[in-house]
Structure 1
């Protein structure tokens, strides 16, 4: 029998998740059934949607039950197989969550080719975050040559891909990020046309200077004051793919001040805006094959670059996740849970 260390949800967080909201447990993995594989976790993806899965509030996916292992996408090595289509040593994309080993149905895994791209990219630019950017921007945002695309959390895996895809399509890219270092990376590493620091006391003035002709597509990742500022820059017929609202995820009450919804609805009406929430999975049947082809090509030819922020050890997961919700990470946040046999 193989022992696995797991992080289980111990309580539903109120506000920022605390250490006490999670239990570290060690248990034995059950013997494999036919069609299953035993997976050793190499990389665990940390993503903002996980905060919603910790809550019992109604959402697009069922909440993680208290006592269950926290969910998450993983890149794993097959260490034992009772499935004809998976061999020991295969590297696969799975969804085994916050643990070191897991038994999984082989049909729920996808084999990765370490020669095609670093295996970690299956959790980032060539995985769900990259696909979120691709589908949301192209299916909803529909950027046209010469238009201006703005995106917040722009050095993250979704935001950085949004801006670079916009450039591929001939649009201008304006990125919003927190701090001078991230803003420099938007210009120097990711090729954005402009970068705006939302922590600056002159943020609104800087945003106006960076978008002199207004904003045609705003890819919404954060909401809050950043979203409010960009909304004031939206042009007639602007499109707003709503991907995430990370500024609100730890909120415990409604914001102070007057109700802004009537004014926002009025702007949607008078500016003929398209505001469309989406979950990336709805576009898998229609866009995923194109994404795999296009994004692999763009990464290979340098049109799309990516950055990863890797923390070491499963024990670092909770603190890293807290940092994710406040913007401490720089790039796609991964936990390296185990040794990567393809590295070096």
Structure 2
């Protein structure tokens, strides 16, 4: 059973080690904190913490560092969530509100979160099962290339380039292309994206051969877009931050980089993290089941998408991270993201 003072000593060790990356000794604690006891008493408290597996000696010096178990106790019982500054909150809101569409907003979100935390930021881009077509645009890029733009009610914009055989392109002039665009929108606007294939197949029977040939390629591009929507994915930013903390990975950061490239596995891990009463979930060190992440911590929160479902947002970094600051940043960004998507 850890005493109250022992818990305070653990808090001091975690905070000092996170700040300095240097093992923390009893004299440092006495000098920096007002415990009102001698260094010998603090050493006894540290010995008890070490016996409980909460701290360890990395080498023969008198200093100690937190273990995964120590970080877990700190996070669960001792971490005080520090509020972001007014300037930081304003920066989050302003930066996210400048997003042009959903993809841009989510890309901005991970960039902002990586800058706030100096960690790798991750955001789950969820499947939107009941997304509706708002508009389809066709833009000529050249005589044989056509840009197909799909815009949904959720504000998401997908673009694909279609290559047209020269014969098809020559048979469909500007007026024909404008008519085809109008016919496509007439068939698709207001429909679920899952119904795009069926609606375009019915439309093809009504078109002239030249327009039908172009429609087939447009339909293939839209079908590929719909297939992409059926699987959620993960956006990342700030991977370079791992290199800045390379000393926190005694072996190599290569296994970490390889692990975060496994999108499917990372997504499953991300989705399975259950949020606590603070709205966050933290997996520390060897608690991470994914090979390569035993020296990292993953901190996840939740945001509500425009479709009403909860998706994950969070950070990944070394176990020696500022948990209090990172919890505050993840919660703040998730809150602003939910609000922004809810207004669309």
Q: Could you tell me the TM-score, scaled by structure 2's length?
A: 0.22
- The structure in which a higher percent of residues are helix is 2
Larger Rg: 2
